[in-house]
Amino acid sequence: MSAVPPRPPTAMGLDAARRVDLDVREEVRSGQEPFSRIMAAVSALLPGQALVIRAPFEPVPLYRALGQRGFAHWTEQRAADDWSVWFYLRQLTIDVRELEPPEPMLRVFDALETLAPGQHLEVRHNRRPVFLYPQLEERGFTHETDEPEEGIVRIVIRRREETPG
Amino acid sequence: MMRPSTILPLAYLATAAAFFAAAMASMPWLANELAGHYYHPRVLALTHVVTLGWITMSILGASYQLIPIVLERPLWSERLARVQLGVLLVGVVGMAAHFWLGTWPGLLAAGGLVALGVGMHLVNVTVSLRGLQRWTLTARLVVLGQAGLGLTAMFGLTLALNHALPVFSWARFPALHAHVHLALGWWIAPMLLGVSARVYPMFLVAPEPARTLGRVQFWGLAGGVPLLVVGLIAAPSLVVPGALALCAAAGSHVVGICSMVRGRKRPSLDWGLRFALTASGFLVLGVAAGLGLALDLVSGPRVALAYAVLLLGGWTSLSIVGMALKIAPFLVWYRVYGPLVGTRAVPGLAALGSPRAEAAAWALLTAGFLSLAGAAAAGNALWILVSAVSVALGVLAFAASLARVLAHLRAPAPPAESVRISIAKATGAKAHTPKVHTQ
């Protein structure tokens, strides 16, 4: 175990609407395979929702399986046979193209507040937000901007310490 | 990336508003002069306070906010722009005073200061533009506007020099008309159209108009003004083609605005947008008057003055008031409340101004300028007086709303460290729990 990661804000008081709980402890103890139930729960997740799986051991194989689907995880060991694992998408996406200034800036900082460790924010805008960039930099975020297609400006925002390179 | 300056554009906008208030407050006392020929020292003084003090200062202020947005880079030198504000302030006050007194040597000196200020601005924008790769409609119109500003200043200075020391034998009034149309068509119009192309889709939340309309605007102005100016000075046959090209530019601008209004996703319009849209109505009236003058359907100094009131008062001033009511609250909000976003509740833009004052300003200015155009055309001093009082009260209401917005600058911002701590607290960056691990 390396450095202790911060607890994601999603784990500090997420309302019921944004949290899907799945307890598979009894299922595993009775010898059943919970994988299909887990994947069904993952498929049913709505944007911004996190899946919280409770298992009797650390479900390491799930890290890779869900990691391939864009999920990051955060694990908490409550007891020797009680583990909670939070799965949430690495990327949050918000579209602010139809908002009047300064609403896009407010939405971006709202979204950044809920950003979990390892997660980044993708903002879809209709212009380069030159007034936003300095604010992001002052608050410890990095940003990359490109234009994947005409009329869409994409800004990817990460915590500075999580920025590759 | 450097934080774009907010105080610089606000300083220009506040200075411009002060000139606007001074000019419009003096207008009721100039009712008799306005009922006569426009070539009167005091009318010329009033005109230059409006065109240089109000319109040009506002456009420069808006440019310093928009250049980082349009060009996606900061202004080359904010210090130069600050010094330039002082130079222009002294120059414009000097010009107005010397026009009023009718003293030409002093006018030349003050005009030289204004030209110096214009030169400083052009250097700043030219260096800022260096290496620009995305030549949008707004960027092209801004460049046209800068060229027009420089040429208008040089033309004005030449007119003043020629008055003191006659070199050119051109007729006074056609040259004066050429100077006015150079300012209107190559400085004011491209800047207003360029800014509109950028900010109207943003504030109306509407799709950008068809590109063809933008091309007609650019080429209509770029080609129409030289034809009109040369036509007025030396080749009268070019006046009508020039006027038609300008009509095409104005028409495509109005059509573009109508398409954005129809396609907007923002159902309600605030007063800033209502001002800007009302201004388009004045543009239609002004262009119709201008076409009437070009085609000799109407003529005379009174109609010419009414034409100037429709375009400088109705179209330009209402456009600028509308944009100021959008730009100033954003700049103040960004400066005072931007750093607090994410740490605590912050007021919205609408809460910064005074919608009641803005509504009063809209009613008084719209009715005032419309009435003033009619009164100027009729040459009726009493009617001019009543209209001028309406305009002056409208400016007062506008200034009150702007002052209320600017008063938020006095709100104390928290020290940077406390903002960082709040952000860390909000994102949980410093919190950690034992018995936790991740991938």
Beta carbons of B431 and A109 less than 8 Å apart: no
Highest mean pLDDT among A125-134, B2-11, B270-279: B270-279
Q: What angle do CA B45, B47, B49 make, to 5 degrees?
A: 70
Beta carbons of A140 and B423 less than 8 Å apart: yes
Query: Quick one: pLDDT at residue B11?
Result: 96
Q: What is the mean pLDDT of residues B113-136?
A: 90
Q: How far is B185 from chain A (nearest CA, A)?
A: 28
Q: How far is B133 from chain A (nearest CA, A)?
A: 14
φ and ψ at residue A121, rounded to 5 degrees: -110, 130
Structure tokens at B155: 């033309």
Distance (Å, rounded) from C-alpha B180 to C-alpha B188? 10
Structure tokens at A41: 């729960």
Identify which of B341, B436, B439 has the shortest CB distance to residue A106: B341
Which residue has better confidence, A85 or A18?
A85
Task: Report the mean per-residue pLDDT for chain A.
Answer: 84
pLDDT exceeds 80 at position B73 = no
CB atoms closer than 10 angstroms to residue A161: 9
Structure tokens at A109: 């900082």
Contacts (Cβ under 8 Å, ≥6 apart) of A73: A62, A63, A66, A67, A85, A86, A87, A88, B438, B439
Q: How far is A100 from chain B (nearest CA, A)?
A: 6
Beta carbons of A75 and B437 less than 8 Å apart: yes
Q: What is the mean pLDDT of residues A92-112?
A: 87
Which residue of B427, B432, B435 to mutate against A (max A Cβ within 10 Å)? B427
Q: What percent of chain B has pLDDT over 70?
A: 92
Query: Quick one: pLDDT at residue B102?
Result: 86
Q: How far is B196 from chain A (nearest CA, A)?
A: 15
Distance (Å, rounded) from C-alpha A125 to C-alpha A140? 21
- ipTM tops 0.90: no
pLDDT exceeds 80 at position B77 = yes
Distance (Å, rounded) from C-alpha A146 to C-alpha B277? 33
Distance (Å, rounded) from C-alpha A14 to C-alpha B244? 64
Query: pLDDT band at residue A68, thresholds of 50, 70 and 90?
Result: confident
pLDDT, tens only, B19-28: 999 999 999 9
φ and ψ at residue B337, rounded to 5 degrees: -105, -20
Asked whether B250 and B283 are in contact (CB, 8 A), the reply is yes
Distance (Å, rounded) from C-alpha A162 to C-alpha B367? 58
Beta carbons of B4 and A130 less than 8 Å apart: yes
Identify which of B4, B431, B436 has the shortest CB distance to residue A76: B436
Point out which residues pair with A52 in neighbouring strands.
A21, A86
Which residue has better confidence, B428 or B250?
B250
- B134 lies within 8 A of chain A by CB: no
pLDDT exceeds 60 at position B280 = yes
Q: Which of A70, A59, A47 is nearest to A22 (CA)?
A: A59
Residue B23 host element (H or E) = helix B7-26
Query: Quick one: pLDDT at residue B227?
Result: 97
φ and ψ at residue B326, rounded to 5 degrees: -95, -45
CB atoms closer than 10 angstroms to residue A92: 19
Q: Which of A66-80, B176-190, B305-319, B386-400 has the lowest mean pLDDT?
A: A66-80
Beta carbons of B1 and A130 less than 8 Å apart: yes
Q: Where would I find the H helices in B267-345?
A: 271-294, 301-308, 318-336
Identify which of A6, A113, A135 has the shortest CB distance to residue B338: A135
Q: How far is B339 from chain A (nearest CA, A)?
A: 7
pLDDT exceeds 60 at position B36 = yes
Q: Which of B30, B47, B17 is nearest to B387 (CA)?
A: B30
Chain A residues touching chain B at CB-CB below 8 Å: 1-2, 4-9, 12, 63, 67, 72-78, 98-102, 105-106, 109-110, 112-113, 115, 117-118, 126-128, 130-131, 133-135, 137-140, 159
Identify which of B72, B202, B427 has the shortest CB distance to residue A115: B427
Query: pLDDT band at residue B8, thresholds of 50, 70 and 90?
Result: very high
pLDDT exceeds 50 at position B427 = no
Q: Where would I find the H helices in B234-270?
A: 239-262
Asked whether B126 and B146 are in contact (CB, 8 A), the reply is yes
- B69 lies within 8 A of chain A by CB: yes
Asked whether B313 and B369 are in contact (CB, 8 A), the reply is yes
B 180-219 residues inside an 8 A Cβ radius of A: 201-203, 205
CB atoms closer than 10 angstroms to residue B239: 22
Query: Quick one: pLDDT at residue B420?
Result: 41
φ and ψ at residue A94, rounded to 5 degrees: -130, 145
In chain B, which residue's Cα lies nearest the Cα of A61?
A: B439
The three-state secondary structure class of A122 is strand
Q: How many residues does chain A have?
A: 165
Identify which of A74, A101, A127 has the shortest CB distance to residue B438: A74
Asked whether B181 and B225 are in contact (CB, 8 A), the reply is yes
Which residue of A103, A108, A132, A139 to mutate against B (max B Cβ within 10 Å)? A139
Query: Quick one: pLDDT at residue A14?
Result: 61
Beta carbons of B436 and A74 less than 8 Å apart: yes
| Strand ranges across the sheet with B436-437 | A19-23, A50-55, A82-89, A71-79, B436-437
pLDDT, tens only, B354-398: 999 999 999 999 999 999 999 999 999 999 999 999 999 999 999
Q: Is the dihedral of CA B426, B430, B434, B438 positive or negative?
A: positive
Query: pLDDT band at residue B276, thresholds of 50, 70 and 90?
Result: very high
- CA contacts within 13 A on the Cβ side of B374: 9
Point out which residues pair with A79 in neighbouring strands.
A82
Which residue of A87, A109, A120, A144 to mutate against B (max B Cβ within 10 Å)? A109
Q: Which of B436, B345, B418 is nearest to A116 (CA)?
A: B436
Task: Report the mean per-residue pLDDT for chain B.
Answer: 89
Q: Which of B294, B293, B317, B311 is nearest to B303 (CA)?
A: B293
Beta carbons of B432 and A5 less than 8 Å apart: yes
Report chain B residues whose CB lies below 8 A from the CB of A72: 438-439
- B345 lies within 8 A of chain A by CB: no
Report chain B residues whose CB lies below 8 A from the CB of A138: 3, 339, 416
Asked whether B435 and A75 are in contact (CB, 8 A), the reply is no
Identify which of A63, A76, A135 has the shortest CB distance to residue B435: A76
Q: Which of A53-62, A73-82, A109-118, B235-244 has the lowest mean pLDDT?
A: A109-118
Residue A73 host element (H or E) = strand A71-79
Contacts (Cβ under 8 Å, ≥6 apart) of A149: none
Q: What is the mean pLDDT of residues B203-218?
A: 91
Contacts (Cβ under 8 Å, ≥6 apart) of B331: B6, B9, B10, B65
Q: How far is B236 from chain A (nearest CA, A)?
A: 45
Asked whether B383 and B374 are in contact (CB, 8 A), the reply is yes
Point out which residues pair with A87 in neighbouring strands.
A51, A73
Query: pLDDT band at residue B165, thresholds of 50, 70 and 90?
Result: confident
Beta carbons of B4 and A131 less than 8 Å apart: yes
Beta carbons of B1 and A133 less than 8 Å apart: yes
pLDDT exceeds 50 at position B78 = yes
Beta carbons of B349 and A102 less than 8 Å apart: yes
Query: Quick one: pLDDT at residue B434?
Result: 26
Q: What is the mean pLDDT of residues B263-268?
A: 84
Distance (Å, rounded) from C-alpha B209 to C-alpha B198? 11
Report chain B residues whose CB lies below 8 A from the CB of A132: none
pLDDT, tens only, A115-151: 777 788 999 998 888 889 988 998 889 999 998 888 7
Q: How far is B186 from chain A (nearest CA, A)?
A: 27
Highest mean pLDDT among A5-9, B33-37, B163-167: B33-37
